Structure formats: C-alpha cells, structure tokens
Amino acid sequence: MIFSRVVLGLVGALYVGFGVWGLWAPAAVTAMTEIQLTTPTAVTDGRAVYGGLTAGLGVLFLLAAVRRADVWTGLVALFLTLVFPVAARLLGIALDGGGTPATFKVMQGELLFLALSGVALVRERNRPVEAPGT
C-alpha cells in the first residue's frame, strides 16, 4: 500500500506542477514537443489541456494517495491516462514517422510512470477492499 500511495503522490505532485506550468506558460510547454500555439484560441486550448486537465489529474492522484479506499481507483486512472498516450505515440511513430528525439524524451517519463503504476496495480490487486472513508 505504501508503494502505491508513493507512486500516486509522486505522479500527482508532478502533474500538478506541470499543470501549473501549463496554465502559466502553455506555449513553453507545447514547444517541448514542437507544437506551436499561433493564435489566442490555440493558447487558450493549450492552457486548458496542458494546464487545467493535467493539474486536475494531478489533484485526483493526490487525493487517491491520501485515502486508502481510493488507491485502487487512482492507480487505474493513472495507468489508463498513461497507457493510451503511450499507445498513441507508438502509433504516431509507426504511421507518421513521429519518432523524433522530442517524442522519445516525453515518452521516457510516460513509460517510467506507466511501469510504476503497473507494478503498483499488480501489488494491490489481491489486497482486500477497504471500507469507504478510510
């Protein structure tokens, strides 16, 4: 349980930090993967996705780390929010030739956290379900 809560807390804190950066400087965040926000609408969308959505997920992971009864759900959410982007990046590499250094740099962190969340899920799968509110 401790390992799982540490994974959720660590990733949650990183997501909140990255999300705050995305809220403050969306063009800087998207530039890491060669995305340019060239209109006010694009900047607002970048701020919403890279900032708001990321920070919101981070808060979800932090809350799941705090409540023992929410650890499993938090881990499933973390795993799914990582496995689909990694799969999409791999698809993009295969279909679009998107295997640039920027792609692989971003994917390294995603794969690390995907592996940690997968290990945590395996460790938690046989743990008895806790009563709500614990």
Mean pLDDT calculated for residue range 54-74: 95
Instruction: Say if residue 33's pLDDT is above 80.
Output: yes
Domains of the chain, by residue range, sit at 2-124
Which residues, 6+ apart, have CB-to-CB distance to 99 below 8 Å?
Answer: 93
pLDDT of residue 43: 96
Mean pLDDT calculated for residue range 18-38: 94
Give this prediction's pTM. 0.87
**Averaged confidence pLDDT in the chain:** 92
CB neighbour class for 80 (10 Å; exposed up to 12, middle 13-18, buried from 19) = exposed
Mean pLDDT calculated for residue range 42-48: 96
Mean pLDDT calculated for residue range 20-35: 93
Whole-angstrom distance, CA of residue 100 vs CA of residue 93: 8
